[in-house]
Amino acid sequence: MEYLNHNDRVNRFQTYIQQQTNAAPLAVFRIGFGLMMCYGIIRFWAHGWIETQYLEPTFHFSYYGFEWVKPIGNYTYLIFFICGLSAFFVALGLKYRLAIITFFLSFTYIELMDKTTYLNHYYFISILSFLMIFLPANATFSMDNLARKRTFENIPKWTIDAIKLLLGIVYFYAGLAKINSDWLFKAQPLKIWLPSKFDLPIIGETLMHQNWFHFAMSWSGMLYDLCIPFLLLYKKTRIFAFILVVFFHVFTRVLFPIGMFPFVMIVGTLIFFDASFHQKIITLIKNILSKLRMLKTTTLQTFSAYQIRYKSFVISVIIIFFTIQLLLPFRYLLYPGELFWTEQGYRFSWRVMLMEKAGISTFKIVDGKTGNYFYVKNSDFLTERQEKQMSFQPDFILEYAHYLGDTFTKDGHKNVQVYVESYVALNGRLSQLYIDKTVDLYQQKRSFKPKNWILPFNDDIKGF
C-alpha cells in the first residue's frame, strides 16, 4: 500500500484544486436552477400559499435562535417577488453574484419564517444556493459575459464536483436513513401510504395494496438512494442511472404531493453528464434565441481559465461547509431516545419519507393556585396545518405551550400553568401518550438540550 506523507497529500490537494474543466455544465445547471426556482416561487404564489401559510396564521413556529424571522404582513409578497426575480437573474447570469446572494438570503428568510412548512428539499435549495455563491456559474453563457465582454472556457474542476458532492450527500444520506427496521422489515410507512393510492389508474387496485409491493418499494428505494450517486459518477452506468432517476422521481411525484422536488433532482443530476452534452444544450438554446432574434452578437474575448478570487478563503468556506454537511445528520447521536419519536436531530438530515406520524395534543390551562382548568381549542390559534404539525413534534408543542401561557397571562388569567395531553402514533403503531402530562411546559425552556419531558417510545426501531 502506498503511503502518502503530509506533503504528498498537500500536493495532491493543490493539484486537484488547480484542475480545470469545461464551464458548460455549471452554466446549464445555473440556468436550470434559476428557472425552476423562479417557477417554484410563481407556483407557490399562484396557489395562494403565501396567504394561507404566512399571512393567515396569527402565530408562527420559529426555529430556535431565529424567532426574529417573521412574515412582514403584505410586504411578505415583496420578499417572494425579490426571491423570484433574483432566481430569474441567476438563470440569465446577470449580476450573478449579487443575484445568487439575494436569492439565498430571501429564500432562506422565507423558509425561516415558519417551520411548519419545513421540507427537506427547501433546506436543500437553501444550502445549494449558499454553495452557488462561491461558484463561477456565470463563467460562460451568461449576461455577465456580454456586459464584461469576456467569457471563460474552463473553470476549476472542484466547483462542479462540489455540486455533485452535495447531490451525492443528499442521496446517500437519504439511503442510509432508510436502513432501519421500520423501513426494511415492516415496509413502513409505505405500507400505510401506498394502499391509499387505490385510485391511481391500472396499478391502483392491483399493486398498491400488495404486501410484496410495499417491500419491493422499500428495498429498492433504499438501494436506489445509496447507489445512485456512484452510478451517476461512472460513465458506463450513467445513462442507466439517469433513467432510474427519471423513473423514480416521476413515480414519487405521482404518488406523493412533493411539488417541485422531483424535477429539481432530475434537472440537478444532469450535472453528472459530460461537458459535450451540456455544450449541445447551450447550442440548442443559442439556436432558439437566434431564431427569436434575441441573441446579441457581441464579440467576446475568450479566456481559457477562470481565476477564483480570494481563493484560499473560498476553499476554506467550502471545506467547512461540507464538513458541517457530513456531520450534521449524525447529531441525533448526541440525544437519548428513539430519533423518530423525539425528533431531536431529525431535521436537516435528509430523512425523507420515513415516518407516518400523527397526533392529538390537547392543552390544559391550569390556575396553579386554585387548580381550576380549561382546555384550549387549538383552532382558535393555529391553522389546520399548523395544528397537525404541532401535534407530534416536541419543539412545536413547547413553543406553542409558551405562546398559550403568554396569551392567557396577558388575558388576565392568574398563575398560569400549561399542560398537554398528547397522543401520537408512529408508522402504524397504536397511539401512545407522548408528553409527560404532569410537566408544566410553561416552565420548560427552549434549548438544544434533551427534552426529558418526552415519554419513552414503547417500541424499538433499529438502524441509522
Partner 1 sequence: MAKKIFSIVLLALFIAACSSSDDAVNTDGGGSGTAFDRAGMLRNLADNIIIPSYQNLNSDLGTLVTAKDNFNTTPNQANLDALRSAWFTAYKAWQHVESFNIGQAEQTLYAFQMNTYPVNTTDVENNVASGSYDLTHPNNNDAVGFPALDYMLHGIGATDAEILEKYTTNAEAGKYQAYLSDLVNQMQTLTQAISSDWTVNYRDTFISSTANTATSATNKFINDFIFYYEKGLRANKIGIPAGNFSSTPLPDRVEAFYNQEVSKELALEALNAVQNIFNGTEFGGSANGESFKTYLISLDRTDLANMINNQFNTARGKIQELNANFATQINTDNTKMTEAYDALQAAVVLLKVDMLQAFNISVDYVDADGD
Residues that bind partner 1 (CB under 8 A): 47, 49, 52-53, 117-121, 187, 189, 191-193, 195-199, 205, 208-212, 214-216, 219-220, 223, 227, 231, 234, 236-237, 240, 256-261, 346-347, 351-356, 358-360, 362, 372, 374-375, 377, 384-385, 388, 423-425, 428, 430-431
**Count of beta carbons in the 10 Å neighbourhood of residue 171:** 22
| Cell representation of residue 59 | 402565530
CA distance 314 to 109: 23
Tracing cell 465582454 back to the chain, one arrives at: 149
User: Which backbone phi and psi does 384 adopt, to 5 degrees?
Assistant: -55, -45
Pick between residue 16 and residue 374 the one whose CB is nearest to partner 1. Answer: 374
Report in angstroms how near the CB of residue 461 gets to partner 1 at its nearest. 15
Report in angstroms how near the CB of residue 282 gets to partner 1 at its nearest. 28
Pick between residue 304 and residue 412 the one whose CB is nearest to partner 1. Answer: 412
Asked if residues 418 and 404 have their Cβ atoms less than 8 Å apart, the reply is yes
CA distance 461 to 464: 9
| Cell representation of residue 212 | 410484496
CA distance 133 to 100: 6
| Cell representation of residue 164 | 455533485
Report in angstroms how near the CB of residue 135 gets to partner 1 at its nearest. 26
Helix axes of 120-133 and 24-46: crossing angle, nearest 10 degrees: 140
Report in angstroms how near the CB of residue 386 gets to partner 1 at its nearest. 11
Pick between residue 93 and residue 405 the one whose CB is nearest to partner 1. Answer: 405
SS3 content of the chain, % helix, strand, coil (to 5): 60, 10, 30
Pick between residue 9 and residue 377 the one whose CB is nearest to partner 1. Answer: 377
Report in angstroms how near the CB of residue 207 gets to partner 1 at its nearest. 10
Report in angstroms how near the CB of residue 302 gets to partner 1 at its nearest. 35
Pick between residue 144 and residue 387 the one whose CB is nearest to partner 1. Answer: 387
Report in angstroms how near the CB of residue 239 gets to partner 1 at its nearest. 10
Q: In sequence order, what DSSP letters do the residues of 335-356 get, joined into one string?
A: S-S-HHHH-TT-TTS---S---
Report in angstroms how near the CB of residue 267 gets to partner 1 at its nearest. 17
Pick between residue 135 and residue 366 the one whose CB is nearest to partner 1. Answer: 366
Report in angstroms how near the CB of residue 351 gets to partner 1 at its nearest. 6
Residues 6 or more apart whose CB falls under 8 angstroms from that of 296 comprise 146
Helix or strand or coil: residue 419?
Answer: strand
Pick between residue 268 and residue 359 the one whose CB is nearest to partner 1. Answer: 359
| Cell representation of residue 66 | 431565529
> Residue ranges of the alpha helices (H) in 207-272?
211-233, 235-255, 261-268
Pick between residue 20 and residue 431 the one whose CB is nearest to partner 1. Answer: 431
Report in angstroms how near the CB of residue 349 gets to partner 1 at its nearest. 9
Report in angstroms how near the CB of residue 255 gets to partner 1 at its nearest. 10
Report in angstroms how near the CB of residue 12 gets to partner 1 at its nearest. 24
| Cell representation of residue 394 | 416536541
151: left (phi over 0), alpha (psi -120 to 50) or beta: beta
CA distance 287 to 265: 26
Q: 419 - beta bridge partners?
A: 364
Among residues 379, 300, 332, which one has the least CA distance to residue 58?
Answer: 379
Pick between residue 197 and residue 280 the one whose CB is nearest to partner 1. Answer: 197
Pick between residue 215 and residue 251 the one whose CB is nearest to partner 1. Answer: 215
For the CA atoms of the chain, what is the radius of gyration? Answer: 25
Pick between residue 256 and residue 448 the one whose CB is nearest to partner 1. Answer: 256
DSSP state for residue 445 in the 8-state scheme: P
Taking CA atoms, 188 is separated from 182, 213, 222, 359, in Å, by: 5, 12, 13, 17
Pick between residue 59 and residue 219 the one whose CB is nearest to partner 1. Answer: 219
